[in-house]
């Protein structure tokens, strides 16, 4: 009898970890490596938020709390949804977990039965398909390429829906592409969903506040209020507030689902860190102006990287609307051989050779379900990004 569960055998080991390990190995050997694979802002948590965490410790707010969040944080989340998204949720319709990741995991675990299908547009955040598999469901991925700006079309969504569809996973702005759906684009998708009342919407709004230029964020239950009774709106403080290590995410949706998610959490981790919850109250209630300052920095870096990558032969890099990633297409590089003699048959070959020959660590597209591409996280200094672009260009110019 095998010791490990059958469920675990359905899950792939993370290809992103393999790349990160390889980069760490080369660094340990003394190589000069530029890491562009991190999925987190390079800013520190703002001082007033960190101070709220210190205050929580000093005041002894260090005991177990209600499983899915303290009332003060639920109130702050309620106010945030009203302020930013025109959505009215009661505290009983709100759940707080240890990061957006746990909240998504709770939702899938609480709802999926064998045979249930979950529609996931690709490229996708690496965890969605494996979370679905761990919860016993079947991921149904839909390839959304450069031609549609990496976005799912209403026709694609319509074609992917079957009687077994339970959830449609929606993520805007997206990890890994940075692509965001405008109001009209999202309305065209919600129109499809209105025709299929058995399909629920799992919207991951983690990058809501990280947007640039004229792009205006919107979320499904706001665009189509009739979908609110079957939408779970997931968000968190990790990215916009530079709080990845604090581990606070949250969601709002119909009360029976929220109660079921709390049940899952009550038998796994119980409450998220009490200290982090108090810091999250300050994040949501406190000054928000630093977000625009951070975004100005990210927008500058985005432009630098998009320009640098589009100057590389064989690379096409669209301009993203948000997040801190770009996802260039490298069709023009496939089938060639690198200056170091590696045959570039796949985007994994490209990323591996780029790391070995030029010391730049990116994540290859196959990890996100759409190839041939790679993901660059530009949450690092301008100097590093400029040097990385020089190296990537040299690598591409060396392809024969
Ligand atoms: C699209 C997306 N959703 C959810 C998460 C998880 O966020 P958290 O760190 O709050 O668990 C991430 C983190 O990388 C993400 O990129």
Closest CA to 89 of 272, 239, 257, 209: 257
- CA of 256 from ligand 1 middle (Å) equals 24
Helices (H), the chain: 6-9, 15-28, 47-58, 71-85, 99-111, 127-134, 154-160, 183-194, 220-223, 255-266, 274-285, 289-310, 347-358, 382-397
- CA of 208 from ligand 1 middle (Å) equals 12
CB of 150 within 6 A of ligand 1: the answer is: no
CB of 205 within 6 A of ligand 1: the answer is: no
- CA of 24 from ligand 1 middle (Å) equals 22
CB of 244 within 6 A of ligand 1: the answer is: yes
Residue stretches of the chain with pLDDT short of 70: none
Helix, coil or strand: residue 361: strand
Residue 98, Cβ density class (10 Å: 0-12 exposed, 13-18 middle, ≥19 buried) = buried
Give me the pLDDT at residue 20, please. 79
- Interatomic CA distance for residues 27 and 17, integer angstroms: 15
297: left (phi over 0), alpha (psi -120 to 50) or beta: alpha
Residue 333 DSSP code? G
CB of 209 within 6 A of ligand 1: the answer is: no
- Interatomic CA distance for residues 69 and 81, integer angstroms: 16
- Interatomic CA distance for residues 231 and 251, integer angstroms: 10
Helix axis angle, 347-358 to 382-397, nearest 10°: 110
- Interatomic CA distance for residues 319 and 306, integer angstroms: 6
CB of 322 within 6 A of ligand 1: the answer is: no
Q: Are 135 and 268 in contact (CB under 8 A)?
A: no
- Interatomic CA distance for residues 7 and 119, integer angstroms: 20
Give me the pLDDT at residue 23, please. 87
Q: What is the DSSP string of 50-113?
A: HHHHHHHHHTT--S---TT--HHHHHHHHHHHHHHH-----GGGEEEESHHHHHHHHHHHHH--
Give me the pLDDT at residue 7, please. 87
Of all atoms in ligand 1, which is nearest to the CA of residue 101? 11
CB of 46 within 6 A of ligand 1: the answer is: no
CB of 238 within 6 A of ligand 1: the answer is: yes
- Interatomic CA distance for residues 8 and 66, integer angstroms: 30
Tens of pLDDT, residues 248-258: 999 999 999 99
Residue 329 DSSP code? B
- CA of 268 from ligand 1 middle (Å) equals 19
Give me the pLDDT at residue 38, please. 84
- CA of 308 from ligand 1 middle (Å) equals 27
- CA of 83 from ligand 1 middle (Å) equals 22
Give bridge partners of residue 204 from the DSSP assignment. 171, 234
- CA of 360 from ligand 1 middle (Å) equals 23
Residue 340 DSSP code? T
- CA of 101 from ligand 1 middle (Å) equals 6
Give me the pLDDT at residue 2, please. 84
Of all atoms in ligand 1, which is nearest to the CA of residue 103? 11
Give me the pLDDT at residue 317, please. 97
Residue 3 DSSP code? S
Of all atoms in ligand 1, which is nearest to the CA of residue 40? 14
């Amino acid at each position: 009898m095998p010791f490990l569960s059958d469920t675990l055998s359905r899950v792939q080991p993370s290809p992103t970890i393999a790349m990160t390990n390889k980069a760490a190995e080369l660094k340990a050997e003394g190589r000069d490596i530029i890491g562009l694979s991190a999925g987190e802002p390079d800013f520190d948590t703002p001082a007033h938020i960190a101070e709220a965490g210190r205050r929580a410790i000093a005041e002894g707010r260090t005991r177990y709390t209600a499983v899915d969040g303290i009332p003060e944080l639920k109130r702050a989340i309620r106010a945030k949804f009203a302020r930013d998204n025109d959505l009215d949720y009661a505290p009983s319709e709100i759940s707080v977990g240890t990061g957006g990741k746990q909240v998504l995991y709770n939702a899938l675990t609480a709802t999926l039965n064998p045979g249930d299908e979950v529609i996931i547009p690709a490229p996708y955040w690496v965890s969605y398909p494996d979370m679905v598999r761990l919860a016993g469901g079947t991921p149904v991925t839909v390839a959304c390429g450069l031609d549609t700006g990496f976005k799912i079309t209403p026709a694609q969504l319509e074609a992917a829906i079957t009687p077994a569809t339970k959830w449609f996973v929606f993520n805007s702005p997206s990890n890994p592409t940075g692509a965001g759906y405008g109001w009209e684009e999202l309305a065209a998708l919600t129109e499809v969903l209105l025709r299929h009342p058995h399909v629920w919407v799992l919207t991951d709004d983690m990058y809501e506040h990280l947007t640039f230029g004229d792009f205006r964020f919107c979320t499904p239950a706001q665009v189509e209020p009739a979908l609110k009774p079957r939408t779970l709106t997931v968000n968190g403080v990790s990215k916009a507030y530079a709080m990845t290590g604090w581990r606070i995410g949250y969601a709002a949706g119909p009360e029976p689902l929220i109660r079921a998610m709390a049940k899952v959490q009550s038998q796994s981790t119980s409450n998220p860190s009490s200290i982090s919850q108090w810091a999250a109250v300050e994040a949501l209630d406190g000054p928000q102006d630093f977000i625009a300052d951070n975004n100005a920095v990210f927008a500058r870096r985005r432009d630098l990287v998009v320009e640098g990558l589009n100057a590389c032969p064989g690379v096409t890099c669209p301009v993203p609307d948000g997040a801190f990633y770009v996802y260039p297409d490298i069709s023009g590089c496939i089938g060639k051989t690198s200056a170091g003699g590696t045959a570039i048959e796949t985007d994994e070959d490209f990323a591996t050779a780029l790391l070995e020959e030029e010391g730049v660590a990116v994540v290859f597209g196959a990890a996100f379900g759409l190839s041939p591409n790679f993901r660059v996280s530009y949450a690092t200094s301008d100097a590093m990004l400029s040097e990385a672009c020089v190296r990537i260009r040299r690598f591409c110019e060396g392809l024969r």
